[in-house]
Structure 1
């Protein structure tokens, strides 16, 4: 996710719309609407059921969980000697920034890494390390500044919320007043930044910000922000991933001054041909599309655990986008109409959560997505906001 925000970025992308399953997945019967939600914890991307499964599969030596767990355990984030580097202000300008920007993201991932390890192996030392890192930041952190504030707060805030959900739900030694202090940090130093409106920025920005907002809302049990995040998702996903049913060209983000065909083409990185599944940043590079797919899955997964089926609402769009981009990341030759025949294949470990839902829960077939996930397992971390998703969402291929 790069900091550029203006409409005039060049993008080219077109999709091969062949043979994709587009039927929407119906919401499970009886699931409440957002306004009626009763929050469930832990419920930010991972649930008790998923943590129990990971623990059982690792203990039994089952793959892909065992290899993923070993990769997590061997990472520098899992060290019991890990030292946090909290700051009271994190100033992150576009494309650069002081060490505190990197420290914050890495410390948040480390806290989540230790929380996940504690859930899987039961070692209290990991629980203590997770809360030590969170307590260090909540004791001093006050504000994000500079142009990248929203994105920086999004990347770090989503990881903080995942870690906090696990620890608060199951580790009684993380108690008051430290929990309240951590909640106050999320509400005052993160939520204002991630709730900022960014209509003409590249779409991965707003999706990452929405990921953080919905995650923090669940931890804080704030229904207003939860509903706001769901509506933001519902507006941005159709403006980022195209389907031909949208019309001859993609819809613009809300409040963005993007109206003419030429303006849309410029915003979509000089892309003038639109087919099912293409994304606003496809012709920028697949790395940023991967960020958007990961954030979209995080939002939908968190909502699912709270009883709201965003996956089903956006099934056709997300499944088509997953298959389209996985195909080219795997090496399919780009036709001349797609990004001038050149696609930058830089996607990270971004598709585990979405694959888990659509294949394991609903039985959908996503062959390109499946092949890419298996090729890149065990999924590690992008050192931004995606971490260890084979551990939490690994599954065996359906029969």
Structure 2
């Protein structure tokens, strides 16, 4: 079944140099079948850290049969969750669907598959839109998780009805894709990267080449404006719609005025938490692209991610903050966001990443961040597939 995005979206696209896969690979959003097989073998044989991570996931309160989805017709998300009309509920329900899909794909208990299907069907039959100032960010967070859950259930013989799949695809196309596919030029990298991630993941589920190309084009432009490399020159790359004037760049980077180390990140002087959201989305997109046979880890994107993870991890690990970094003051900590990127760049590709390794091992086994990062020790710790 091939589901297309609405025509009104397609007519808005600019020409792109990016080319979507000629043949889509499923499951293909952040985790592949070979990766699932690896995890399943480790869990079934009781090996660590996968066994503990799996059991911790099953212990999440949203994974029980008593958890029932609570979809809203219109989800209203204001700044700092004011107002919150269905926002946290929507995030929790999508994470529950994804966790249940993973539990089914790894453990084989049909009850988990049915739970994921129940949640996705409830939303596909109910939700019509998002509004207020954080609507696009919410759509990015939740859309990315729906795509992962939908891919796993659809392509693991879980018994999802074809009509239900069709409704779910229309929900992604009509409710989430319009808010995410064209990104944003706001001065917070994590917003656009979350939107890019959602649009790319949903495009894989929908086999929607136009949306995939558009979102990937924006993603590949945003990453260099998010993570600084000395090769960029005296100042970072300006993001879309922003001035390259030094004063504008400094303002964009939350007051950071000194750029001299590879891996400095755009929201660092805001806090490490939001910086970590950007790294998570970059890793997730790179993982999806790799599954679709375009290994972005081997490009400038992978290089920037590697240095970005290392530069930020050192401060979460307790290294003294130099005066030239955010005037010597940082809001810690990075969060459970390094597992996917560390696995790809260090475990699979062999790069030495001591600070990222230290932080990753300290955080295991990671659960969710309540937004869009979920169960990544289980899915990506030392996963060679």
Within 5 A, what are the aligned runs for 1:340-355? 340-355=327-342
For structure 2, the residue ranges without an aligned partner over 5 or more in a row are 1-17
Could you give the per-residue CA deviations for residues 352-378 of structure 1, whole angstroms, max 9, x where no partner exists? 110111122211111111111100100
Match 1:289 to one of 261, 270, 275: 275
Match 2:124 to one of 138, 144, 162: 138
CA contact (8 A) 2:339 2:376 kept: yes
Could you give the per-residue CA deviations for residues 58-92 of structure 1, whole angstroms, max 9, x where no partner exists? 11111110110111011112112211001111111
Could you give the per-residue CA deviations for residues 228-256 of structure 1, whole angstroms, max 9, x where no partner exists? 12211110000010001111101111122
For structure 1, the residue ranges without an aligned partner over 5 or more in a row are 1-32
Of stretches 85-94 and 123-132 in structure 1, the one that deviates more from structure 2 is: 85-94
TM (normalized to structure 1)?
0.89
Could you give the per-residue CA deviations for residues 315-365 of structure 1, whole angstroms, max 9, x where no partner exists? 221111111011111110001111111121121110111011112221111
Q: Which whole-Å CA distance do the structure 1 matches of 2:302 and 2:202 have between them?
A: 24
CA contact (8 A) 1:64 1:395 kept: no
Q: Does 1:209 align with 2:195?
A: yes
Could you give the per-residue CA deviations for residues 143-181 of structure 1, whole angstroms, max 9, x where no partner exists? 111111110001111110100000000135202211000
Q: Does 1:267 align with 2:213?
A: no
Q: Does 1:121 align with 2:101?
A: no
CA contact (8 A) 1:34 1:308 kept: no
Q: Which whole-Å CA distance do the structure 2 matches of 1:172 and 1:79 have between them?
A: 18
Q: Which whole-Å CA distance do the structure 1 matches of 2:93 and 2:259 have between them?
A: 40
Aligned residue for 1:383? 370
Q: Does 1:41 align with 2:26?
A: yes
Could you give the per-residue CA deviations for residues 3-44 of structure 1, whole angstroms, max 9, x where no partner exists? xxxxxxxxxxxxxxxxxxxxxxxxxxxxxx734431111110
Q: Which whole-Å CA distance do the structure 1 matches of 2:185 and 2:95 have between them?
A: 28
Instruction: Tell me the C-alpha RMSD between the 2 structures.
Output: 1.3
Aligned residue for 2:213? 227
Q: Does 1:157 align with 2:153?
A: no
Aligned residue for 2:14? none
Q: Does 1:68 align with 2:56?
A: no
Q: Residue 34 of structure 1 aligns to a residue in which SS?
A: coil
CA contact (8 A) 2:187 2:252 kept: no
CA contact (8 A) 2:97 2:116 kept: yes
The size of the alignment, in residue pairs, is: 364
Q: Which whole-Å CA distance do the structure 1 matches of 2:163 and 2:45 have between them?
A: 38
Q: Residue 373 of structure 1 aligns to a residue in which SS?
A: helix
Task: Give the CA deviation at 1:287.
Answer: 0.3
Note closer, same or farther for the CA distance 1:176–1:396 as it changes in structure 2 (3 Å cut): closer
Aligned residue for 2:352? 365
Aligned residue for 2:93? 107
Note closer, same or farther for the CA distance 1:332–1:37 as it changes in structure 2 (3 Å cut): farther
Larger RCO (alpha carbons 8 Å, 6+ apart): 1
Note closer, same or farther for the CA distance 1:195–1:201 as it changes in structure 2 (3 Å cut): farther
CA contact (8 A) 1:150 1:196 kept: no
Q: Does 1:356 align with 2:343?
A: yes
Q: Which whole-Å CA distance do the structure 2 matches of 1:284 and 1:393 have between them?
A: 28
Aligned residue for 2:73? 88
CA contact (8 A) 1:64 1:396 kept: no
Q: Which whole-Å CA distance do the structure 2 matches of 1:266 and 1:171 have between them?
A: 51
TM (normalized to structure 2)?
0.92
Note closer, same or farther for the CA distance 1:396–1:309 as it changes in structure 2 (3 Å cut): closer
Q: Which whole-Å CA distance do the structure 1 matches of 2:21 and 2:120 have between them?
A: 31
Note closer, same or farther for the CA distance 1:355–1:56 as it changes in structure 2 (3 Å cut): same
Task: Give the CA deviation at 1:210.
Answer: 0.4
